[in-house]
A and B are shown apart, each in its own frame.
Chain A
Amino acid sequence: MKHRFLIVGLLLLFGLSSVWAQTEPPVVDSMVVDSTELFPAAVSDVQVVDKPNDHGHAVIVTWETSADDGGGKNNVLRYEIFYSTSFDGPFDSVGAVPAGTGEFRHIGSKEPLDSAFVPDYTDLFYQIDAVTADPTIRTTSDVLGPVQCSGQWFNTGRIPVLVAVLIFGLLTAFFVLSAKRGKKLYVRPIGGIEAVDDAIGRATEMGRPILYVLGLGSAADVATIASFTILGRVAKRVAEYQTELIVPTYDPIVMSVAQEVVKSSYFDAGRPEDFKEDCVHFVTQSQFAYVAAVNGIMLRELPATCVYMGKFFAESLLLAETGSLAGSIQISGTDEIAQIPFFIVACDYTLIGEELYAASAYLGREPKLLGSLKAQDWAKAAFVALAIVGLLAANFEWFEFTTLFQVID
């Protein structure tokens, strides 16, 4: 009997729960409505354009931020940008920017095998997702495009550089022509370079070699090019005095150029038969292995004079200290600002920065080098004048002038 009541009770409970379950749908409906409200508004006014003033493979995407970014539901956390080469997709993510941002620069790779490759002259389509803290709750914009990207021949943002190049080029041409016509161009004496001849004489008297280090720069570095000119002058003197010259090099191309320079100096001095190709030799392209080798040469050959001209890095003090230990007269010159202090403390003479370039012109006395040096001096005078005018402009808020010198990449 009791069991019957229990069964009936369970059936009634089941029936009631079924009825209650039937009344659930309105509640479910309200849940659906709530979750829909969580989705942020999509971005609007999306525009895609080819990035100007570049080599191609890049697109700029701009948009009006979502109404729920900084207002409304205020639940947009970031925007994710997708792109495809087809209107129908599939779309790949190319990046994300935080909320409040209305621009994305899609800078792709130019290498076809690179995963980030963006083809030029191909239709590209974009989509932007406004994403909330829950990445599954996001709103996707309409597909935008097509847009095609391509490279430009001229970067209009660098017009100030073009103007500077033209003015400097004209100045150089003018002074080179003046020097060629025989006009005397004054260059003030430079302490360190005056000492080079004395140092070569000292090496000759002592019967010990001269070590010339061109540094770690490539053959295209300005400091290395200036150093080649000084090497030419040193090699000519060395050939005249019949002293030994040792030039250990770090870069194979620098070695080849240095061999040519030394060879032509021996020819100029009228002693081509004394030139030994091995005096300019390659060591290695590992920085500290090169230092170890040059230090070894210094302590074994005991050069009377060590000349360091070119581009130097962390090895500058190691070389100069060892040269000092070997009892050599040391003359250095570099445009690496961080290394100049080390040369100043450890060498007898140091050419600071641009003095190295000036030294090559001072020694060579060639019209091209002298003309270039004069043009540089005029450029410095122009720099001072522009700096003073610009300073006044900045203080009196004449921004039309100051913006003339802004370079935009």
Chain B
Amino acid sequence: MRRTTYIVVAGVVLLFGLSWVLHAVSMSGEADGIERAFMITMAAFLTLAIYSFLYKDNPFYKFAEHLYVGVSAAYWMCQAFWSTIVGNLFPRLSEGLSNYFQQPYQASGWNITYWIPVILGIMLLMRLTEKYGWMSRWPLAMIVGTTAGLNFVRYLRSDFVVQVSSTFMPLLGEDPHRWQGFGAFISNLDLSATGQLAAIVSNWVIFFGVICGIIYFYFSKEHSGAFGRASRLGIWILMITFGASFGYTVMGRISLLVGRITFLFRDWLEIIS
């Protein structure tokens, strides 16, 4: 088993080198041909290494996984440091620090609102010490409490008040398909998606779909009898919606797959143009 692993790894390294050399030769006229050849080969190797997971866990997948996790963790840490602390905080706190990090100093006088996050941040780092670890709970409570309170208002607005007004719809159609009586409806019957019939059906489905959906999410009463039947209709409507959403998203994922395969066949193997 160990020998087989060595042989496979050696084979992949050989193929990697071969791919690099061939691409470097084909790009020899370009200034950074060798680097670009390496990048294309590396990208193709990592793509295939990740796809090898479809077979089973293996050393190539582990290598790609660890590389990806390590690079991304380091990248996001640098991003957070340079954009938040150096880019946003230091220029508002200290001219000396701003100059040291070559950032334009934003002189706005002494402002306590910039020192609060500094103190909370230091308290958060106290987790690293055994003795003062308890201090980190205060900023955590501040973060969770503040944003939960802000979200409460936001959600009540978008998910309640606005939703309530969205269900106020004329069940018999509105302009330009205002209800003029049954005779007019029959004589002007239009089966197209923009017709009066479609508008009426759509409004009825939306209204009763919303009501039955809410009944399904009502937890204070057992779902039996007429209430249970309405709840059942609600879950049916939810499932139909989920089915449509599933199909739509799967199509999006297929386009991602096409993107990777295009890279492999066009940029790496150069089979297609």
Residues of A within 8 A of B243 (CB): 341
A405 contacts the other chain (Cβ, under 8 Å)? yes
Contacts A260-B137, A300-B57 hold; do A391 and B153 have CB atoms under 8 A apart?
A: no
A256 contacts the other chain (Cβ, under 8 Å)? yes
Question: Which residues of chain A (267-287) have a CB below 8 Å from chain B?
Answer: 282-286
Report the minimum CB–CB distance from A409 to chain B (whole Å). 10
A220, A352, A358, A405: the one contacting B164 at CB < 8 Å is A405
A-B CB pair tally, cutoff 8 Å: 171
Whether A161 and B161, one on each chain, are in contact in the complex, defined by CB atoms closer than 8 angstroms, is yes
Whether B214 and A384, one on each chain, are in contact in the complex, defined by CB atoms closer than 8 angstroms, is yes
Tell me, in angstroms, the Cα distance from A289 to B127 when the chains sit together. 26
- Which of B68, B223, B243 is the most central at the interface, judged by chain A CB atoms within 10 Å of its CB? B68
- Which of B61, B136, B160, B243 is the most central at the interface, judged by chain A CB atoms within 10 Å of its CB? B160
Residues of B within 8 A of A390 (CB): 164-165, 167-168
Report the minimum CB–CB distance from B142 to chain A (whole Å). 10
B144, B238, B246: the one contacting A257 at CB < 8 Å is B144
B64 contacts the other chain (Cβ, under 8 Å)? yes
Contacts A164-B156, A341-B246 hold; do A377 and B218 have CB atoms under 8 A apart?
A: yes
Contacts A292-B50, A390-B164, A391-B168 hold; do A220 and B148 have CB atoms under 8 A apart?
A: yes
Residues of A within 8 A of B146 (CB): 220
Contacts A112-B108, A220-B151, A289-B69 hold; do A373 and B214 have CB atoms under 8 A apart?
A: no
Whether B171 and A380, one on each chain, are in contact in the complex, defined by CB atoms closer than 8 angstroms, is no
Residues of A within 8 A of B50 (CB): 292
A379 contacts the other chain (Cβ, under 8 Å)? yes
Could you say which interface size class chain A belongs to? Answer: 35 or more
A219, A283, A354: the one contacting B73 at CB < 8 Å is A283
Whether A220 and B214, one on each chain, are in contact in the complex, defined by CB atoms closer than 8 angstroms, is no
Contacts A284-B69, A289-B69 hold; do A187 and B219 have CB atoms under 8 A apart?
A: yes
Residues of B within 8 A of A187 (CB): 219-220
Question: Which residues of chain B (67-84) have a CB below 8 Å from chain A?
Answer: 68-69, 71-73, 75-76
Could you say which interface size class chain B belongs to? Answer: 35 or more
Proximity bits, B121-136, A CB within 8 Å = 1, else 0: 0001001000000001
B217 contacts the other chain (Cβ, under 8 Å)? yes
A394 contacts the other chain (Cβ, under 8 Å)? yes
B32 contacts the other chain (Cβ, under 8 Å)? no
Residues of B within 8 A of A256 (CB): 124, 127, 136, 140
| B residues neighboring A (CB under 8 Å) | 50, 53, 56-57, 61-62, 64-65, 68-69, 71-73, 75-76, 104, 106, 108, 124, 127, 136-137, 140, 143-144, 146-148, 151-153, 155-157, 160-165, 167-172, 207, 210-211, 214-215, 217-223, 238-239, 242-243, 245-246, 249
Closest 4 CB pairs between A and B?
Answer: A220-B147, A286-B72, A341-B246, A390-B168
29 of the cross-chain contacts (CB-CB < 8 Å) are: A113-B106, A161-B153, A165-B156, A219-B140, A219-B144, A220-B146, A220-B151, A222-B148, A222-B151, A253-B140, A253-B143, A283-B73, A286-B69, A286-B75, A289-B65, A289-B68, A289-B73, A296-B57, A352-B238, A374-B220, A377-B218, A383-B164, A383-B214, A387-B210, A390-B168, A391-B169, A395-B170, A395-B171, A407-B161
Given A160-B161, A340-B242, A358-B217, 5 other A-B contacts at CB below 8 A? A168-B156, A187-B219, A225-B148, A289-B68, A300-B57
